[in-house]
Amino acid sequence: VNKHKPWIETTYHGIVTENDNTVLLDPPLIALDKDAPLRFAGKEFISFLDDNRSICGFKIHGQNVPFEAVVVDKSTGEGIIRSKEKLDCELQKDYTFTIQAYDCGKGPDGANAKKSHKATVHIQVNDVNEYAPVFKEKSYKATVIEGKRYDSILKVEAVDADCSPQFSQICNYEIVTPDVPFAIDKDGYIKNTEKLNYGKEHQYKLTVTAYDCGKKRAAEDVLVKISIKPTCKPGWQGWSKRIEYEPGTGSLALFPGMRLETCDEPITSIQATVELETDHIGKGCDRDTYSEKSLHRLCGASSGTAELLPPPSSAANWTIGLPTDNGHDSDQVFEFNGTQAVKIPDGVVTINLKEPFMISVWMRHGPGTKEKETILCNSDKTDMNRHHYTLYVHNCRLVFLFRQDPSEGKTYKPAEFHWKLNQVCDKDWHHYVLNVEFPAVTLYVDGVSYDPFPVTEDYPLHPSKIETQLVVGACWQEYTGNENDNETVPETSAGGELRMAQFFRGNLAGLMIRSGKLENKKVIDCLYTCKEGLDLQMADGVGKGVKV
C-alpha cells in the first residue's frame, strides 16, 4: 500500500559550467520512500510487491527555468538536474527554483502517486574564459619633455566581457615592442625608464597588449605614440666623455673648456661625478710597479699562495717558452694562441683541496670558438683522462669543474659551476677570483660577486693511485685519436701516448692558487684596483661652499 510520501533534502546547491549541461549537485539528488520492498527468507533476490516505493519522477517549479530533473534509477531514487538549453554566465550567473519528487503510486497513470515536499535548488553558472580583453581606445598618444623621468606618462585601459572576476579582470599589461625605454605596470600606467633625448628619437611607437587573469591575450594590441618635446637641457657642455692619459706625462687638465648650461634657471646646488677608469692591466696603473705576488702580500692575501705564471727565472723556468707582451718582469702578461700550454712542476701547488681555497687570475679573452678553452686543469698524469679540477671557458661561459675525493662517499655532490658573463668574451682585461668553500663556490669579477647558475652534480671520483698533472693553458690527457682539438707533439709514458688538449686562446697574467677562505672582500678590491687619482685645483675664492 502506498502509505508514505517520497523524501528529499530541503536545499540543494549546484554548479554548472556555461556551454555545458550537467549540474553538479551537493548533496546529490536522491529521493527515498518508506514503502520498502519485502525480502523473502532464504532467497538471494528481492521481490517487489508493487511500485509504490519506486520514484517515478521529479518536477521543477518556477517560471522560465532552463533546467529539467531526470530519474536515473527508479529503485534507488537517484536523479540528476541538467540544463535544457545553452547557459550564458554573462546573461545570468545563478538560478533558484524548487523541486518535488513523486513515486509511481497506483491506478491509471499513477493517479495515487504521492509527492514529496518542495526543496529549494540554487545553481551557480561558472564562467568560461571565452572573451578576450578589448582596449577602450583604438590608439593612445602623449607628449613628454626630454630629460625628465615621469612616474606616469599615460594610462591604457582594457575591459573584458566575461562574467567572473577571474576572467573579467585585467591582470597584466605588456609592452610588446622590444628595446624601448618604457615600462608598463599591471594597472596600465606607462612610464619612461630613462631620460629621453629629442636628438636621439623624436617619437616612440609602442605596441601594448593586455592579459586577463585567465592569461587570455587581448584580441587586438593597441598602438601608443609618445612624442618627445625638445627643451633646454641644464648640464655640463664642452667636454669629452673619454680622455686617455699616458703614464709618466705628469698632470693633465681634464675639462679646460667645460661650462655649465643652467637654462636661465636658479641654481641651488651642483653635483658632478668624475670617474677614472683603470679596469685594464699592464697599462697606466700603479700595479705595474709590483709583481702579482707582491700585490697579494701588500693586500693581505699572501699566506699559502702559489704563483703559476711567474716571470721566467732560474727558480721558475716553466714559463720561458710562452710569448709575452715584452712588459716589465714585475707585470708579465702571457699570450696563449691555441697551441701553447705549460706543465706546472710537482710541488708548486701544495694546497689541500678539502679545505677552502682561492684561484685568482687576470684574463683577456675574445668570443673564441665553440671548443672548450682551458685556463687551468688538474688531470690524471697517465692511464685515464679524469679531470680533478679545471677552470675553462666555453661559449662565453666561465666553468669550474671540481670533482670530489673518493673518500666523500658515493653520493651526488656539486661538481660543475657555470657563470654566463659578457666579460668573458669582450676582449678586455678583467680580474677573476674564484672562492671555493665547498659546496659553495663564489666568483668575483672586478670585485663584483656572481653566484653560479646552473650547478650540476656528479659522483666523486673512483679511488686510484694515479698521479695528477697540473697544466695552464690546456689539459693533459691520454691520446684518444680524436683530431678535432689542437695538440702539441704527443709524449709517451708508461701509461701510453699523452697529449695536450682544449687549448686556451687569449692572455693571462697573475694566475695564483691560495689556500684559505676569503676573509675580506677588501682583499679583492685591493688586488684589481689602481691607485691613480684625481686632483681638483680651484682658483682663489672659488672654493667657498664647495665640497669634494
- pLDDT truncated to tens, each residue of the chain (548 aa)? 567 788 899 999 999 888 788 888 899 998 887 764 544 333 333 333 345 557 888 999 988 899 999 999 888 889 999 998 888 887 888 899 999 998 887 644 556 778 889 999 999 988 888 889 999 999 999 999 888 899 999 999 999 988 888 888 899 999 999 999 999 999 999 999 999 998 899 999 999 999 999 889 999 999 999 999 887 767 888 888 777 776 556 677 888 888 887 876 787 777 777 776 655 544 346 555 556 666 666 676 656 788 899 888 888 889 888 888 655 444 578 899 999 899 999 888 887 778 888 898 989 999 877 889 999 999 988 877 888 899 999 989 999 999 877 766 677 888 899 999 999 999 888 889 999 988 889 999 988 899 998 888 887 777 788 888 999 999 998 655 443 344 444 443 333 445 889 999 999 988 989 887 775 777 777 776 665 666 676 666 565 656 65
Contact 48, 70 (CB under 8 A): no
CA angle 414, 418, 424 (to 5 degrees): 155
How many whole angstroms separate alpha carbon 323 and alpha carbon 314?
A: 18
Pick the CATH number of 134-229 from 3.30.1300.10, 2.60.40.60, 3.40.50.1100, 2.60.40.10: 2.60.40.60
pTM of the model: 0.47
Query: Domain extents for the chain?
Result: 11-126, 134-229, 286-528
The length of the chain is 548
Looking at residue 523, the DSSP 8-state letter turns out to be H
Q: Which three cell numbers stand for residue 330?
A: 714585475
288: left (phi over 0), alpha (psi -120 to 50) or beta: alpha
What's the one-letter identity of residue 285? C
Provide the pLDDT for residue 46: 37
**Domain 11-126 is in which class?**
mainly beta
Provide the pLDDT for residue 391: 96
Contact 289, 509 (CB under 8 A): no
| CATH 2.60.120.200 assigned to 286-528 | yes
How many whole angstroms separate alpha carbon 121 and alpha carbon 99?
A: 7
Task: State the burial class of residue 157 (Cβ atoms within 10 Å of its Cβ: 0-12, 13-18, 19+).
Answer: middle
Q: Alpha helix (H) ranges present in 397-449?
A: none
Helix (H) or strand (E) holding 526: helix 521-528
Contact 102, 184 (CB under 8 A): no
First to last CA, the chain: 108
Half-sphere exposure of residue 441, counting CA atoms within 13 Å on the CB side?
25
Q: Which three cell numbers stand for residue 123?
A: 545553481
Tell me whether domains 11-126 and 286-528 share a fold. Answer: no
How many whole angstroms separate alpha carbon 25 and alpha carbon 8?
A: 13
Residue with cell 592569461: 215
Provide the pLDDT for residue 521: 75
